Amino acid sequence: MDSHRLPDQLEPNPHEHGLATGDAAALARSINRAWELFEGVVAEVDLAAPSRKQGWTARELVAKVGEWEFGRRLADMLRDAHDGEAAFYDNDAIEERIRLQTADLPDDAVLEALAAARATTAEWLASDGPQTWGLVPTSSPLGPLPVLTVVNAMTYQLSITTLDLEPAGGTVPDELVRIGLSALIDTTGALAGRKRVTGSFTAITPDVIIGSGSRDGFWRTASLDEDPEHGPGVVAEARTILDVTSGRANVPHLYRTGELHVRDLTGLVRLAPVLDGIPGIPPMGAVGRALSVVDAVGGLFGRLRR
């Protein structure tokens, strides 16, 4: 597999682990900004209104990203890293538990839990935690991944949740969509690195081009000045890519209308091993679903479901 050429801009250096080994200050700012933007959206919405996610209210969607003792917290992530217990966990089950146990709580409690999650994340990013634990594997819905990669992947969940809150009155910030897209591509690179797959994946949108290349267990994620025109990729609006990867879009329709284009299917097939052993892709872990855009042209990744 090492004979496969990657786009020059996405060829990783030895010991490179995507955004987690890049500009630490810039990554922290990006993650904190995503939480800030998300809280701003939540302030706009009618929490009692239905969301885009069928059967869920806006309030229930906000609650699931808050910090709860009966949920999955940053402290739990760090404990798994410390104890060497990096594995898969069922995020759908956790979210359903949060949904049930917060059903009778006042809205203020839900908003306080959201503020607590944001504050906990910001405090950890400002500490020596990223340097000490950032590259240590921890549990995620996609299996073992570096702690900082998982913390960054939360911005993808925030971006998807923001899109889901739009019917309840939320205004979707383009900046948050871009941050979520970057996390999506970076975690796809992390999955390829974990499987020691050599390959790349690029998202080409009108506003930003983001790619990730993997070789020998390492990966590089980068914003590109221009389309490398080489390797597997998806061409669409950023929102469309997020909707496709989260299972909220009619992919065949997007192909027919030209709103979605996937190139280098042969290269995508070479990326198939990154999904081996993943039992399912819950919301936060749906980053892996970036590869499922080929569902409509052969069903290669049809098991990627929400």
Asked if residue 260 lies in contact with residue 254, where contact means CB atoms within 8 angstroms, the answer is yes
Question: pTM of the full predicted structure?
Answer: 0.89
- Look at residue 304 and tell me whether its pLDDT is greater than 70: no
Query: Which is more confidently placed, 149 or 269?
Result: 149
Domain ranges, residue 68: 8-297
Q: How confident is the model at residue 277 (pLDDT cuts 50, 70, 90)?
A: low
As given in the structure block, the two tokens for residue 194 are: 């974990």
Q: What is the dihedral of CA 85, 91, 94, 98, to 10 degrees?
A: 130
Which pLDDT band, with edges at 50, 70 and 90, does 305 fall under?
A: very low
pLDDT(156) > 70:
yes
* Residue 144 pLDDT level (bands cut at 50, 70, 90): very high
Residue 21 lies in a domain: yes
Q: What is the pLDDT of residues 184-202, one digit of tens each?
A: 999 989 999 999 989 999 9
**Lowest mean pLDDT segment, chosen from 150-154, 209-213, 283-287:** 283-287
Average pLDDT, the chain: 87
Residue 156 lies in a domain: yes
Q: How far apart are the first and last CA of the chain?
A: 30
Do the domain assignments include residue 2?
A: no
In this structure, are residues 10 and 2 in contact, taking their beta carbons and an 8 Å threshold? Answer: no
Kindly state whether residue 287 falls inside one of the protein's structural domains: yes
Residue 39, domain member (yes or no): yes
Q: Is the pLDDT of residue 11 over 80?
A: yes
Q: Is residue 149 part of a domain?
A: yes
On the question of pLDDT at 98 being above 90, the answer is yes
Give the number of C-alpha atoms closer than 13 A to the C-alpha of residue 61, restricted to the C-beta side: 32
The average pLDDT across 98-115 equals 97
Name the residue with higher pLDDT: 48 or 231: 48
Tell me the range of 196-200, 244-248, 290-294 where mean pLDDT is highest: 196-200
The structural domain count of the chain equals 1
CATH number of the domain bearing residue 171: 3.30.1050.10
> In sequence order, what are the residues at sequence separation of 6 or more whose Cβ sits closer than 8 angstroms to the Cβ of residue 58?
45, 46, 47, 48, 49, 50, 51, 165, 168, 170
Average pLDDT over residues 269-290: 52
Tell whether 247 is covered by a domain.
yes
Mean pLDDT (whole number) for 119-132:
97
Length of the chain: 306
88 strand-pairing partners: 140
Measured over the CA atoms of residue 199, residue 204, residue 22 and residue 76, the dihedral's sign is negative
Evaluate whether residue 306 is within a structural domain. no
CA distance 16 to 299: 32
Angle between helices 107-126 and 147-165 (to 10 degrees): 150
Instruction: Read off the pLDDT band of 306 (50, 70, 90).
Output: very low
Rg of the chain (C-alpha set): 18
Mean pLDDT for 210-220 is 96
State the pLDDT at residue 280.
Answer: 46
Cβ–Cβ < 8 Å for 295, 247? no
pLDDT at 279: 52
pLDDT at 298 exceeding the cut of 70: no
Of the listed ranges 24-28, 37-41, 89-93, 107-111, the least confidently predicted one is 89-93
Residue 260's pLDDT is 86
DSSP the chain: -TTSPPPGGG-PPTT-BGGGGS-HHHHHHHHHHHHHHHHHHHHHS-TTSB-SSTT-BHHHHHHHTS--TTS--HHHHHHHHHHT---B--HHHHHHHHHHHTTTS-HHHHHHHHHHHHHHHHHHHHTTHHHHHTTSEE-BTTSSEEHHHHHHHHHHHHHHHHHHHGGGTPPPPHHHHHHHHHHHHHHHHHHHHHTT--EEEEEE-SS-EEEEEEETTEEEEEEESS----SSEEES-HHHHHHHHTT-S-HHHHHHHTS-EEE-HHHHHHTGGGGTT-----TGGGGGGGGGGGGGGT-TTTT---
pLDDT per position as a tens digit, 162-185: 999 999 999 999 999 999 999 999
